[in-house]
């Protein structure tokens, strides 16, 4: 299940992020690629020790917890603090699958990457190329989202960023370990959640809402790992 999460940041917040990131100390992104991915990666990133990166990362982590679409779709158990990248001058990231395990620098906590996210911070008109292409079960999906929107997709998917041939593409990216590891089960829970929300909007008092909510929690109890 691939989801587009809109309104992660407001236009004003995106502007502020871009101003701050414009003054940041960018480093070669290959420093954090796995030994296979390193050959495919040509971009810049902020160091995780960078105080600006940490400040923006904490802001985003806090925000993600308030976005019901993200919480319902990802069912997050642990979220790796978001990192920031920049593609310019032909920068790209060839087709690859992300690593399975990540370590939170501050705590040493390990996170299994179930879901990958990219938050777009540049306006699509400000750069040429720079599409995120994610391989679905049957076809490839192309994303070049408005600034402030985010894509959420299974971390086991092949994906790539096409060369940025004009302008600059800024983004944030992170991984989430979900309470529900299996994508198919998580998708069923999300569908059930949406159905309950729809019913509750029309008639919050109807008994089916309570029964389906109970069913949702019982399925989550069966399937979740904490």
For Ni ion, the closer CB: 98 or 193: 98
Query: Does 114 sit near Ni ion (CB under 5 A)?
Result: no
For Ni ion, the closer CB: 171 or 193: 171
Start-end of H helices in 141-206: 183-202
- From residue 6, alpha-carbon distances to 23, 145, 210 in Å are 26, 9, 29
For Ni ion, the closer CB: 53 or 132: 132
Q: How far is the CB of 12 from Ni ion (least distance, A)?
A: 29
CB-closest chain residue to Ni ion: 98
For Ni ion, the closer CB: 142 or 211: 142
Distance, CA of 2 to CA of 142 (rounded, Å): 11
Which of 77-85, 97-105, 136-144, 198-206 is the region at the interface with Ni ion (rule: CB under 5 A)? Answer: 97-105
Which of 43-51, 69-77, 90-98, 178-186 is the region at the interface with Ni ion (rule: CB under 5 A)? Answer: 90-98
Start-end of H helices in 4-93: 11-22, 51-64, 68-74
For Ni ion, the closer CB: 96 or 186: 96
Q: How far is the CB of 6 from Ni ion (least distance, A)?
A: 22
Distance, CA of 56 to CA of 95 (rounded, Å): 28
Residues near 199 by Cβ (< 8 Å), separated by ≥ 6? 206, 208, 209, 212
Q: How far is the CB of 33 from Ni ion (least distance, A)?
A: 9
String marking each residue 24-43 x if it binds Ni ion according to CB under 5 A: --------------------
Bridge partner residues of 151 (DSSP): 4, 118
Total binding residues for Ni ion by CB under 5 A? 1
Q: Is 15 exposed, middle or buried (0-12, 13-18, 19+ CB in 10 A)?
A: middle
Which uninterrupted H or E stretch holds 213?
helix 207-223
The count of residues in the chain is 226
Query: Does 98 sit near Ni ion (CB under 5 A)?
Result: yes
Give contact residues for Ni ion (rule: CB under 5 A): 98
């Amino acid at each position: 299940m691939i989801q587009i999460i809109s309104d992660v940041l407001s236009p004003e917040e995106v502007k502020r992020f871009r101003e701050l990131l414009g003054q940041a100390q960018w480093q070669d992104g290959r420093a954090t690629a796995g030994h296979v991915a390193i050959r495919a990666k040509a971009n810049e990133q902020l160091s995780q020790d960078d105080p600006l990166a940490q400040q923006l990362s904490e802001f985003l982590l806090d925000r993600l917890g308030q976005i019901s679409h993200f919480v319902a779709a990802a069912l997050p158990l642990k979220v790796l603090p978001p990192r920031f990248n920049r593609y310019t001058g032909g920068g790209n990231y060839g087709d690859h699958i992300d690593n399975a395990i990540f370590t939170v620098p501050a705590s040493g906590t390990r996170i299994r990457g179930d879901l990958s996210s990219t938050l777009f911070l540049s306006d699509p008109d400000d750069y040429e190329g720079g599409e995120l292409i994610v391989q679905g079960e049957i076809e490839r999906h192309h994303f070049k989202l408005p600034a402030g929107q985010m894509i959420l997709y299974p971390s086991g998917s092949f994906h790539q960023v096409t060369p940025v041939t004009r302008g600059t593409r800024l983004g944030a990216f992170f991984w989430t370990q979900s309470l529900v590891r299996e994508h198919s089960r998580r998708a069923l829970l999300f569908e059930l959640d949406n159905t309950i929300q729809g019913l509750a909007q029309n008639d919050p008092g109807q008994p089916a809402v309570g029964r389906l909510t109970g069913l949702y929690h019982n399925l989550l109890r069966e399937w979740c790992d904490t």
